Copies of this chain bind each other. A is one copy, B any other.
Amino acid sequence: MKKLINNPGDIVNELVEGFLFVNKGKVKKIDNLNVVARIEAPVKGQVGIVIGGGAGHEPLFLEYIGRNMADVIVHGNIFAAPPPKAILEGIKSANGDAGVILLYNNYSGDVFNFDIAQDLARKEGILVDTVLINDDVSSAPLEFMDDRRGTTADHIVIKIAGAAAQSGMDFKSIKKLLKKAVYNSRSLGVCLSACSLPETGIATFTLEEGKMEFGMGLHGEAGIKRVDLMTADQTVKVILDLLMEDLPFKKGDEVIAVVNGYGSTTRMEMFIVIRGINFYLKEKGITVYSAEVGEFCTSQEMAGVSITLIKLDDEIKKYYDISADSPGYKKFQ
C-alpha cells in the first residue's frame, strides 16, 4: 500500500506539525516529545484528562483534545506506546491541582509506560489515577474482562470525561463516572481487508478477497472468526448478537450506537450498517438515544467497521449531551 508521506521516519513528527498548523490558536505543543495540549490547559481547580497511545489511528487520540474533550494527548510512534517521559510531561501539563486522570486503551505496552509515568508523577506530589478503556468483547471472555483491549468506545468516553471535568466534577466522581461509562460500552469489529504499516507499506496480516474477519484488533491482531463475505444486515446481526449478551443489553435500555469506519470504508456503507442496527435494536425493544457514524478510530487503510453500544443512564447522558469542540469530534448541544 502506497502512502503520501515524506521520509518514513518523520511520519509522526510531520503529522503532529500538520495538526498544530491546522489547529493554530486552539492547541499547543508542550515539548519535543509529541505532547499536545488544548490551549487552555491546565485549568486551575479542574481535573485534567490525559489521553494517548500509538499514532496511526487518527482522529484517535491526537484530535480529541478541546472544549469538553481531553486536555492533553501524548502521542507515541505508529502503533507504539508513548514513552514514560512524555506521559509525565503530559500529566504535568494537565495538572490544575485537582487531580489528573489517565484515560487510554488497555494494551500492555501502554499500561506499562503510563504506569511508570503515573508513579513518577505521584512522587512529585500530583494526584493521578488511571481509567482503562476495554470495550472490545472479542479480545477476552467476559470473566477476563480486565484483559480486554480498548477500541472504538474511546471518543464517547473521552467526551464524557472532558465534559465532566470541565463542568467542575471532582476527581473521585469522574473516576467513578468513567468506570461506569467504560463498563457500559461494548464493541466488536469486522474487517474486509488488512491494514499496512505506513513506514514500510507491508500489510500486518492477509485476508483473502471475498472473506471477512470478526474481532481482529486495531493493529492486525488475529480475530475470532473468518467467514465468507456477508451482507451488511447479516454482519450487524452477528455483531449485535454478541454485544447484546455480553453486557447484557436488555429490553427498555437506552443506548448510544456508534458505527466506526476503520479507514477505507465509505460513509455509504456505515449508513447502511446503522440502518440495520436500527431495525435490530427496535425489535429487541432497545431505544437508540443517539447514533453516530464516522471514522473515530482508524487502522490505516483497513476496510471494515466496528459497532459500539453504550448503555445510558441519566448521568452519562447529561455529559454526553453537552456540546464539544475538538479537531476530531464536534457536537452541538
Task: Spell out A's residues near B (CB within 8 Å).
Answer: 1-7, 11, 14-19, 21-22, 55-56, 58-59, 63, 190, 192-193, 198, 209-210, 212, 229, 231-233, 235, 263-276, 278, 288, 291-293, 295, 298, 300-301, 303-305, 325, 330-332
Contact = CB atoms under 8 A, between A and B. Distances in A.
B198 A268 contact: yes
Contact of A298 (B18, B19, B267): B267
A193 B298 CA distance: 19
Contacts of A270: 18
Nearest to A24: B291
Given A17-B271, A58-B266, A58-B268, 17 more contacts: A2-B210, A4-B190, A4-B265, A5-B272, A14-B272, A15-B268, A18-B275, A18-B293, A19-B271, A21-B274, A21-B288, A22-B271, A56-B266, A266-B298, A267-B295, A330-B330, A330-B331
15 contacts: A2-B303, A3-B192, A3-B268, A4-B269, A6-B272, A11-B272, A16-B271, A21-B274, A58-B268, A63-B267, A263-B264, A263-B266, A264-B264, A264-B303, A330-B332
A3 to B, nearest CB: 6
B275 A17 contact: yes
A72 to B, nearest CB: 19
A264 to B, nearest CB: 3
Contacts of A4: 190, 192, 232, 235, 265, 269, 272-273, 304-305
A2 B21 CA distance: 36
Contacts of A330: 330-332
Nearest to A290: B22
Contacts of A271: 14-19, 22, 58
Contacts of A298: 266-267
A268 B4 CA distance: 9
